[in-house]
Structure 1
Amino acid sequence: MELISSAERNRLFERFHHDAFHLELRDDYSVPDEDGPFQRWLAGEGTDHSYLAPWLSLARHSTARGMTVRRVRVITEPLTPYIQWEHSVTPVNEGAGENIRWLPRRLLPADVVFPFNNHDWWLFDDRLLAVGHFDRDGRILGSQIIEDPATVVQCAHLRDRLWRLAVPHTEYAP
């Protein structure tokens, strides 16, 4: 399986026209850029959001072009420390134009099945998927590009269903 880098995946944002949707299924995302800020937050030292600057710039640029950038975070309750931290910095993401919703696993209908072995994915314009792959330590290895129409339609239906079930960030209190 061929994987593209995170930088290559981010370049997909230049190619989409109306919607980028991210389904997040992990209760921990350990990426090197966040290790320091996360550890400082755990120590009660607050959060320096500078590590988010590249992503916030990309989100602002995309939403300024009239596009939507959305996420559903499927989460386990009680929240892991990492997800608590994510929740605390979500207003910064939303300030850049993202729309983020939370979906506790306990609210998932029994018939929901996540494709791709429960890997996260981005869906761009209902035509292209970028499925994330992680190593044993939770670090991103890259994304697999899928453009098979039947698979894309399946994910678009799942996206729409989860979006309706998920709680907007401003209404979700862990």
Structure 2
Amino acid sequence: MPVPTFEELLGSAKVSAVHLEMRDGYMPSDPAFAAWKQGALTDPVGDDADFQNWLRWVSDATGRGVAIRRARVVSVPESDNIRFEHYVSDANVKAGENIRWLPRRRATGIPLPGNDFWVFDNELVLVLHFDGDGEPAPDWMELTRDESVLGLCTSAFEAVWERAVPHTQYQPTV
């Protein structure tokens, strides 16, 4: 199945878009992450055009009634990258995302798929593939309507969501 751009996928969502993240590190090459690690990032949005676009897409989608939920399964103590993600997530929430955090120890017993994913309108799954360092793998986006994949991803997301802590209440330990 050909994969549209993420902007097109979110733009075509009618009711919901849910995202499950399970890695402790993403894109160490991200200049904003490097600036944050050096203490030089004082504005999470700043002049990051990609992040500004993301926030606009979220705002547009939620403005037309699409519920966007993101859940993160994280190791504790959190990695630098997860602490960075927490730092920038206030902007995501302000744009309309609902975000929750689940310490990995509390995820035991939840059947989880092997990859991060998005589910759009409970019918379409976007599987995300990363390399071992957290960079997007070649052909990193895979789209499927496979009912077994959809069922696993939907049930995994909802189980994580139920156990997870709302963003406003979650504080990294490090």
- Please, which moves more after superposition, 128-137 or 91-100? 128-137
What RMSD, in angstroms, separates the aligned Cα atoms of the two structures?
1.7
Which amino acid letter does the alignment assign opposite residue 23 of structure 2? R
The answer to which structure has the higher helix fraction is: 1
Q: How does 1:16-165 map to 2 (within 5 A)?
A: 16-30=13-27, 32=29, 35-48=30-43, 49=45, 50-51=47-48, 52-109=51-108, 111-115=109-113, 118-141=114-137, 142-165=140-163
Structure 2 stretches lacking a partner, 5+ long: none
Contact kept, 8 Å, 1:68 with 1:98, in 2: the verdict is: yes
Which amino acid letter does the alignment assign opposite residue 125 of structure 1? D
Contact kept, 8 Å, 1:72 with 1:166, in 2: the verdict is: yes
**1:31: how far off?**
6.3
Aligned in 2, Cα 1:3/1:112: closer, same or farther, shift over 3 Å? farther
Tell me, in whole angstroms, the C-alpha distance in 1 between the residues paired with 2:133 and 2:78.
19
TM-score normalised over the length of structure 2: 0.88
Q: After superposition, give the CA deviation of every residue in 1:3-33 in whole Å (9 maximum; x if it has no partner).
A: 74xx71331112211110000011111165x
Report the 3-state secondary structure (helix = DSSP H, G, I; strand = E; otherwise coil) of the residue aligned with 1:153. Answer: helix
Contact kept, 8 Å, 1:9 with 1:130, in 2: the verdict is: no
Contact kept, 8 Å, 1:31 with 1:140, in 2: the verdict is: no
Count of residue pairs the alignment pairs up: 166
Q: Which residue of 2 aligns with 1:10?
A: 7
Structure 1 stretches lacking a partner, 5+ long: none
